[in-house]
Amino acid sequence: MTAFDLERCGNATMCLGIAQGALEQAIRYSQERKQFGKEICEFQAVQFLLANMAMKVEAARMLIYRAVVNARTGLPSILESNLAKCFANEMVREVTGLALELHGGYGYSKEYPVERMLRDGWGWGLAGGIIEMQKITIASQLLNRRFDQRR
């Protein structure tokens, strides 16, 4: 079971890569798309959206980094790997969703990569244990006890 902690870091890293790509696509699109005679990146709502996306991506990056660096020569800790995976799984869903929203109708088009990023991001939240199970494991580590979910 402890080998799963390493897999969880890999899963979180995949989410980070997808979210980083979605953020880059959103930044690029916001500078290309014009509305009311100006690039949409000039609107405060778009600026807030991009800033929130970037903060979440960087927070996930730091959680993953902490889990991996603290492992040193062994395996990542149960708590740190689950925190990284759970946060990254939720983050990629939010960031790709916001990137799709920023693209408007084009976001659903296979012509833009954001559509695939959204689908892939949701899938990583299922692989290696769903988000809710990660939260149970996190609570178990915080409370220093194991909860039997099968009774």
Residue 116 sits in a domain of what CATH number? 1.20.140.10
Q: Which residue has the tokens 């980083």?
A: 20
| pLDDT at residue 151, as a whole number | 76
Write the pLDDT tens digit of every residue in 39-80: 999 999 999 999 999 999 999 999 999 999 988 778 889 999
Count Cβ atoms below 10 Å from residue 70 Cβ, excluding itself.
12
136 in helix, strand or coil?
A: helix
State pTM to two decimals.
Answer: 0.91
The answer as to whether 100 is a domain residue is yes
| pLDDT at residue 54, as a whole number | 98
| pLDDT at residue 98, as a whole number | 97
- What is the residue-wise DSSP string for 13-35? HHHHHHHHHHHHHHHHHHHH-EE
The answer as to whether 151 is a domain residue is no
Count Cβ atoms below 10 Å from residue 129 Cβ, excluding itself.
19
- DSSP E strand stretches across 54-131: none
Number of domains in the chain: 1
Q: Which residue range(s) make up the domain with 49?
A: 3-31+39-143
The answer as to whether 89 is a domain residue is yes
The answer as to whether 49 is a domain residue is yes
Give percent helix, percent strand, percent coil of the chain, each to the nearest 5.
Answer: 75, 5, 20
